[in-house]
Chain A
Amino acid sequence: MIEAIRTQARNLLENKEVDVIIGYAEGSDSTRTTPVFIRKPEEVSRLIFDPRCINSLPLYLNKRHEYPQKGWKRTGIIAKGCDIRAITQLIAENQLTREEVYIIGVPCDGVVSHFSKWDGRLHDGNQATKCAECDVHTPTDCDFFPGERPEVDRSAPYKVSAPQVLNLMGLNTDKRFDYWRQEFDRCFKCYACREVCPHCSCNICITDRTQPNWVDQAAHTKGVFAWHITRAMHLVGRCTGCGECTRACPMDIQVDLFNQRLKDVVQESFGYKSGYSQDEKPPLITYKTDDSEDFIQ
């Protein structure tokens, strides 16, 4: 599989169809991989793909990362099914056009939930929970795919993938608040959850604005809650559930539980699943006269 991908990558670079290929390379130790930018055909042998390739690379396609200023007219990208959903969402939000990206889809059986759990193979004990619910092991939309791509029915609604979402929703609000207060006590606002997110698109985040200072910058209870609630609300109907925010959190806070819950709410209220259509706009950034109004009492 990887040989076919490397050959295609080499052809694309040699024929100047793309300026760069964003993919995965071996990391600095045996449990890790790292994002890599391949610009020369002779470097394609660095490309790899296996269950350690956790990162969601489409984040580098967000305009916030200034890829157009780098002179990338067309970007090749190695993408798992979930990454392609992120790309689809970026296109729906005008972060890039379909023509600007060349998607090299990869068949993916799942990735590990955390690099420290890698023991040489993927199994039930180390697979990320999102992968068990995944309906894009074979990706939806790509320009190149090594092998056959059978049609898959993807009309089923999202499932809540983390049991903690259900556990938390089963608690009363006071207890749920206590849970988050305890978890957020560790947050020091490094913003890894923001920076790793393919869909955080603002050039200047509202938390970084100081005139006026909308969100308290210090990592006290108020500042931390204000940030995480803002983050969750700004991603409503846009988050494609890659789980990178939780993985990136150095303090091991499961911040994506918010997003998973809101994913259900959006589906119940608007019947919308993010990352499946380049044309359909996320419900909270559009207005429709027949939108449900049952929240107005």
Chain B
Amino acid sequence: MKTATLQKSDIGKCLDLLIQSQKRVIAPQLRPRLDSPDAIDVLMLTPLENGDNHQVGQGILPLNGVKEFLFVKHEPILAFENKDNKVHIKEVHHKYPETIIFGVRPCDAASIASQNAVFSSDNAGYNDQFFTKRLENTTIVTYSCTTGDQSCFCTSVGLEPDSDRGSDLHLTELPDNTLHVEIKTPAGERVANILAPLLQGEGDQAARDTAGKEAHKNVSRIRNSHLIKAWLDDQSNFDDEMWERLGEKCIGCGACTFMCPTCHCFDIVDETRGSKGYRIKFWDSCQFDHFTLHSSGHNPRDKQYKRYRNRFTCKFKIYQDKFNAQGCVGCGRCIRDCPVNLDITEYMKEVDLKASLPNALRQDPDFE
């Protein structure tokens, strides 16, 4: 593996070089907004016009993940027209510009494999060309975290703040304000070639490992997730009292699912104007009350807590069973953005506790 060193102060120049090479460059930026006393600073992954004002390596996470640049919020998948009493179907031609997403956090980068498992793997049994063509033309430049906030929990789901999974070119900040550069893939190498004028010598692997270990200490929300899958596999736990108790406050919005980098559910609808229209694929959420509503009126997930049970089960069981991929990357967005502080790690804690109790205790009706 090739490594190099980059001055942290040169990131803006890196972005400029990439933009000058006719690539679409996306990086975190502070979102402009009208003045408001209630305003909070918000980072967004944004297509850049130049390397000024970037926020690569700043803050915890951008509000939006890389998801919306691969599995986009909405897109037409075909066009149709009713002409002369016949329906004519037309293909739609999307543009898939060569894109570099710069400054992706390790959790977001790891989530790409999970999305890919759904949209194109053998397990999924289908190749979603819209997703895969975008992915083919996208290069991910990751940036290790130096710290986490109160919602981050990547180390509880097998990731590290300096993980390089899903990365083409991996940057890690060192205490001397330089960046350790690791070239992980041919796509990463192509980016490194463009950045060559700014790259110096070889990277300091030992310093990079020390930085990663330091960052690990700063992720404070720690849960044991090893027992969760087996507990969920046990069907008698499907009606455990925990689901309703913890999920009662859930109000059924889709914030957690839409913010989630691995949530991938979508709906398809025909939008018709007059005699023509488009078939549109757009984000859907298992938290919506009509998500599994049958045409008969029956809904197998008729209560909100059952919908959240589905979400939790999807992350820690269904993803593994069905797609052989990781369901949760610990980014913490669902915790940060839940209006009622429904916290997935509270479920993890509770399940771990239940799963680690000896059987005899679990069956004791007086035990709580």
Q: Is the CB of B339 within 8 A of A244?
A: yes
Min C-beta distance of A12 to chain B, whole Å:
19
Closest to B281 in A: A218
Bound Cα distance from A154 to B271, whole angstroms? 49
Most buried by B among A31, A34, A250: A250
- CB of B255 within 8 A of CB of A190, answer yes
- Closest Cβ of chain A to B12, distance in Å, is 24
Q: Assess the A192–B255 pair: CB atoms within 8 A.
A: yes
Inter-chain CB contacts under 8 Å: number = 126
Given contacts A34-B340, A218-B282, contact A188 B73 (CB under 8 A): yes
Q: Are A179 and B34 in contact (CB under 8 A)?
A: yes
Q: A168, A204, A248: which has the most chain B beta carbons within 10 Å?
A: A248
Known contacts A167-B34, A192-B253, A251-B63; A30/B258 CB under 8 A: no
Beta-carbon contact of B253 and A190 below 8 Å: yes
Central interface residue in B151, B221, B337, B340, by most chain A CB within 10 Å? B340
Partner of B254, one of A27, A30, A113, A190: A190
Docked pose: A5 CA to B271 CA in angstroms: 53
Q: B339 touching A247 by the CB < 8 A rule? A: yes
> Taking A30-B150, A194-B253 as contacts, is the C-beta distance between A216 and B271 under 8 angstroms?
yes
Complex interface: chain B residues within 8 A of A113 (CB) = 37-38
**B34 x A35 contact (CB < 8 A):** no
Chain A 136-160 residues near chain B, CB threshold 8 A:
none
Q: Which of A35, A179, A216 has the most CB of B within 10 A?
A: A35
Contact B340 A35 (CB under 8 A): yes
Q: In the complex, which residues 17-51 of chain A have their Cβ closer than 8 Å to any Cβ of chain B?
A: 27-37
B68 (CB) vs chain A CBs: closest residue? A188
**B40 and A27 form a contact (CB under 8 A):** no
The answer for the CA separation of A251 and B341 in the assembled complex, in Å, is: 16
Q: Does A196 contact B (CB under 8 A)?
A: yes
**Bound Cα distance from A76 to B103, whole angstroms:** 49
Look across to chain B and name the residue whose beta carbon is closest to the beta carbon of A34: B341
Q: Would you call A281 an interface residue if the criterion is a C-beta within 8 Å of the partner chain's C-beta atoms?
A: no
- CB of B267 within 8 Å of the partner chain: yes
Question: Count the A residues whose beta carbon is within 8 Å of the partner chain — how many?
Answer: 54
A32 to B64, CA, bound (A): 22
Contact across chains for B253 and A248 when beta carbons are under 8 A apart: yes
- Which of B171-179, B197-205, B244-252 is found at the contact surface with chain A? B244-252
| CB-defined contacts of A223 to chain B, threshold 8 Å | 74
Partner of A164, one of B35, B44, B248, B333: B35
Segment at the A interface, from B89-97, B112-120, B160-168, B283-291: B283-291
Question: Closest approach, in angstroms, between the C-beta of A180 and any C-beta of chain B?
Answer: 11
DSSP majority for the B interface? loop
Please give me the residue from chain A that is nearest to B254 by CB atom.
A190
Question: What CA separation (Å) do A27 and B336 show in the bound complex?
Answer: 12
Contact flag A252-B150 (CB < 8 Å), given A34-B249, A219-B283:
no
- Least CB separation from B344: chain A residue: A28
Interface presence of A213 (CB below 8 A): yes
B278 to chain A, nearest CB (A): 9
Residue numbers in B under 8 Å from A194 (CB-CB): 253
Residues of B within 8 A of A162 (CB): 36, 38
Within 8 A of A (CB), among B54-99: 63-64, 68, 73-74
B214 touches A (CB below 8 Å):
no
A254 at the interface (CB under 8 A from B): yes
How many Å from the CB of B78 to the closest CB on chain A? 14
Q: A36-B249, A195-B252 are known contacts. Are A114 and B38 too (CB-CB below 8 A)?
A: yes
Which listed residue, A37, A163, A195, touches B251 by the CB 8 Å rule?
A195
Can you list 11 pairs linking A and B with CB atoms under 8 Å apart? A27-B341, A29-B151, A167-B35, A190-B258, A204-B290, A208-B288, A213-B271, A217-B267, A217-B282, A218-B269, A254-B38
Other 4 A-B pairs with CB < 8 A, given A36-B249, A162-B36, A218-B269: A30-B150, A186-B44, A195-B251, A219-B74
**Cβ-closest 9 pairs across A and B:** A248-B339, A250-B337, A218-B282, A190-B254, A218-B74, A34-B341, A192-B253, A195-B253, A28-B343
